[in-house]
Amino acid sequence: MNSSPAKPPSPTTTQLCLTALPGLPLIGPGDDLSGLILEALARAGLSLLGGDVLIVAQKVVSKAEGRQVDLARVQPSPQALQLAQETERDPRLVQVILNESKQVLRARPGLIVVEHRLGFVCANAGVDHSNVAGEGWVLMLPQDPDASARRLRADLERASGAGLGVLIIDSHGRAWRTGTVGVAIGVAGFPALLDLRGRPDLYGEILMSTQVGLADELAAAGSALMGQADEGRPVIHVRGLPYPLRDGSLAELLRPRQEDLFR
């Protein structure tokens, strides 16, 4: 639709540009995701520069890593059978959700909210059955999204010589707001949490407790461009982040359980 870019900014202007990489094929187990990303970057006329960030949809990482599960091969446990009845879901799907979870926090028809084994709270343990080829197959999150992000980053840095950040993102619901938003579930070379504590504000007062979930903010930005139904935009290139890159990880974004007021 409207995709004519903004004019080049004046030198004092800060501009953040997100570009959806064109022409990525449907991804399957064993595909070389970093190779496909490099080809798509070339197709878009983009050379990677230091400070650039790649935002990658969880689904394509999971598919490349073979995280599909054939429900026909899943044997539901008594716990899964009971939770399936309570939530009106397929007991085999519920078993996959339980396998991926530390704890079930809430359950109601159509929804199971869990603490994922990776430490975040989300619906249905991120297990998805849309956009998975094959009747009766579902897709789990990557085994270790931080490690997936680190591998992608290493491949892309090796190919480009540029220092990069990589975010692997999923869409999560929120406790009190409708709609999903993109959040980071895997982080490499990116300041997941940006600590502005102790910096003076414009009037010289010290900011007391401002920590920004920068990886989640950028994940949301990427998600706005990706869409949901259209898996044709699963990788977003970002240029112009107004903060320096550094090492980072998902763990920065997880609220310690003892600080959790709402579990």
Give min distance, CB of 86 to its own copies, in A: 14
CA distances from 88 to 56, 115, 123, 165, 189 (A): 32, 20, 15, 40, 41
Of 187-216, which residues contact its own copies (CB under 8 A)? 192-194, 196, 199-203, 205, 207-214, 216
Report the C-alpha gap between 218 and 241 in whole angstroms.
Answer: 9
Residues 36-95 that bind its own copies (CB under 8 A): 43-46, 49-51
Confirm or reject binding of residue 120 to its own copies (CB under 8 A). Answer: yes
Rg (CA), the chain: 20
Told to check if 28 binds its own copies by CB under 8 A, we report no
Does residue 161 touch its own copies according to CB under 8 A? no
DSSP three-state, residue 108? strand
Complex with its own copies: residue 151 or 252, whichever CB lies closer: 252
Residue corresponding to tokens 């929804």: 111
Q: Is the dihedral of CA 159, 160, 163, 165 positive or negative?
A: negative
Compare residues 95 and 223 and give the one whose CB is closer to its own copies: 223
Among 72, 78, 158, 229, binds its own copies (CB under 8 A): 229
Q: How many residues bind its own copies (CB under 8 A)?
A: 101
Indicate the residue among 155 and 217 with the shorter CB distance to its own copies.
217
Q: Which position among 32, 70, 230, 247 is part of the footprint of its own copies (CB under 8 A)?
A: 230
57: phi then psi, degrees, rounded to nearest 5 = -65, 135
Q: Which stretch binds its own copies (CB under 8 A): 77-85, 88-96, 127-135, 152-160?
A: 127-135
| Of positions 69, 74, 80, 221, contacts its own copies by CB under 8 A | 221
Give the C-alpha distances (Å, rounded to integers) separating 59 from 133, 206, 261: 12, 41, 31
The closest of 118, 90, 115 to 251, measured between CA atoms, is 118
Closest CB 19 distance from its own copies, rounded Å: 5
Find the shortest distance in angstroms from Cβ 97 to its own copies.
15
103-104-107 Cα angle (round to 5): 175
Pair of tokens at residue 98:
């339980």
